């Protein structure tokens, strides 16, 4: 198995576990391994969805790093695709915006997340929302099907970001656009940090430099690229000490690394 495939399997396992342990782990994706001894939870990146129309508490696992639907300019009747849809949180918010004449498609590669999202949709009788198990590096969708693509703290987890942005471009209609909240870096992490499995699956060590991230968007063909919002991410000492040794923490803190959640938009012209 290739290194890229190993990383994807690590993330899939982590999110399968998160789906099974959602109540115990209601917090950031940087929380603890559900099989570990500690039950401490840290919501260092998650946003408050409670006041948004369409919010469903049991679909909110707190693993996002932004509010992409807030900046996505979704219109009634749109077809919206959510990448890494998890338990369906952003999909249900998007559904409230597209109305009964629109549709929402959630894609996730975690079978247990898909099962959880489908159960949430069935419980509410939603007919214009569906969840598909699939890899967002090769989406199970035809060309030119989406008016809007959204994603929340997902692309940073996967190694082939260039392929993902090309896939987003492919599935968008001409004139369509994306709105993605994701984690990016400025500066260089210690190697021991980026090699840490928990930090990788926790949305931090897998992130890339902000300029490289924006470059991949441009190379995919998008225009009118705009960072709508930037938020600084601070990793609590408790999380660092849970997953890293003292030497690695010291190297990390002595560096000049910036971790940011950005919400970025771009259009297919």
Q: Give the residues across from 226 on adjacent strands.
A: 265
Instruction: Categorize the per-residue pLDDT at 43 as very low, low, confident or very high, splitting at 50, 70 and 90.
Output: very low
The CATH code of the domain that includes 57 is 3.40.50.150
User: Which range among 35-49, 136-150, 184-198 shows the weakest confidence by mean pLDDT?
Assistant: 35-49
Q: Are strands 146-152 and 129-133 parallel, antiparallel or unpaired?
A: unpaired
Domain count, the chain: 1
What does the alpha-carbon distance between residue 1 and residue 12 come to, in Å, rounded to a whole number? 15
Run of H or E residues at 18: helix 3-20
pLDDT above 90: percentage of residues in the chain: 51
Residue 198 pLDDT exceeds 70: no
Mean pLDDT of the chain: 82
What does the alpha-carbon distance between residue 120 and residue 93 come to, in Å, rounded to a whole number? 13
Distances (CA, A) of 67 to 55, 57, 94: 12, 15, 11
What pLDDT does residue 218 have?
A: 98
What does the alpha-carbon distance between residue 218 and residue 77 come to, in Å, rounded to a whole number? 28
The pTM of this model reads 0.83
**What is the average per-residue pLDDT within 132-148?**
96
DSSP states of 136-186: TTS-SS-SS-EEEEEEES-GGGSS-HHHHHHHHHHHEEEEEEEEEEEEEEE
What does the alpha-carbon distance between residue 196 and residue 204 come to, in Å, rounded to a whole number? 10
What pLDDT does residue 70 have?
A: 94
What pLDDT does residue 33 have?
A: 41
Instruction: Pick from 12-21, 51-60, 152-161, 217-226 the range whose average pLDDT is largest.
Output: 217-226
What pLDDT does residue 264 have?
A: 98
What pLDDT does residue 18 have?
A: 56
Which residues constitute the domain of residue 135? 3-267
What pLDDT does residue 65 have?
A: 87
Instruction: Categorize the per-residue pLDDT at 73 as very low, low, confident or very high, splitting at 50, 70 and 90.
Output: very high
DSSP state of 34: T
**What is the average per-residue pLDDT within 178-201?**
74
SS (H, E, C) 174-209: EEEEEEEEEEEEECCCCHHHHCCHHHHHCCCCCCEE
What does the alpha-carbon distance between residue 103 and residue 98 come to, in Å, rounded to a whole number? 7
**What is the average per-residue pLDDT within 99-103?**
96
Q: Which residue has the tokens 């040794």?
A: 245
Residue 252 pLDDT exceeds 80: no
């Amino acid at each position: 198995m290739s290194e890229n495939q190993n990383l994807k399997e690590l993330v899939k396992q982590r999110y399968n576990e998160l789906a099974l342990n959602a109540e115990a782990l209601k917090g950031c994706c940087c929380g603890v391994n559900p099989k570990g001894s500690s039950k401490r939870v840290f919501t260092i990146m998650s946003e408050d969805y409670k006041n948004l129309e369409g919010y469903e508490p049991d679909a909110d696992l707190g693993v996002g790093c932004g509010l992409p639907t807030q900046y996505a300019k979704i219109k009634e009747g749109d077809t919206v695709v959510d990448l890494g849809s998890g338990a369906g949180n952003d999909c249900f918010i998007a559904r409230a915006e597209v109305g009964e004449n629109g549709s929402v498609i959630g894609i996730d590669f975690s079978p247990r997340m898909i099962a959880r999202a489908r159960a949430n949709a069935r419980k509410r009788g939603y007919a214009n929302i569906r969840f598909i198990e699939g890899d967002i590096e090769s989406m199970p969708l035809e060309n030119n099907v989406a008016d809007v693509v959204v994603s929340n703290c997902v692309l940073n987890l996967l190694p082939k970001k260039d392929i993902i942005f090309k896939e987003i471009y492919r599935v968008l209609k001409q004139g369509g656009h994306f709105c993605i909240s994701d984690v990016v870096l400025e500066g260089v992490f210690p190697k021991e940090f980026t090699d840490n499995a928990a930090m990788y699956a926790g949305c931090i060590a897998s992130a890339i430099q902000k300029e490289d991230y924006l470059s991949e968007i441009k190379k995919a063909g998008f225009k009118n690229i705009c960072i709508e919002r930037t938020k600084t991410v601070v990793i609590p000492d408790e999380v660092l000490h849970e997953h890293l040794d003292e030497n690695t923490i010291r190297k990390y803190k002595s560096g000049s690394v910036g971790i940011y959640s950005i919400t970025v938009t771009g259009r297919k012209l």
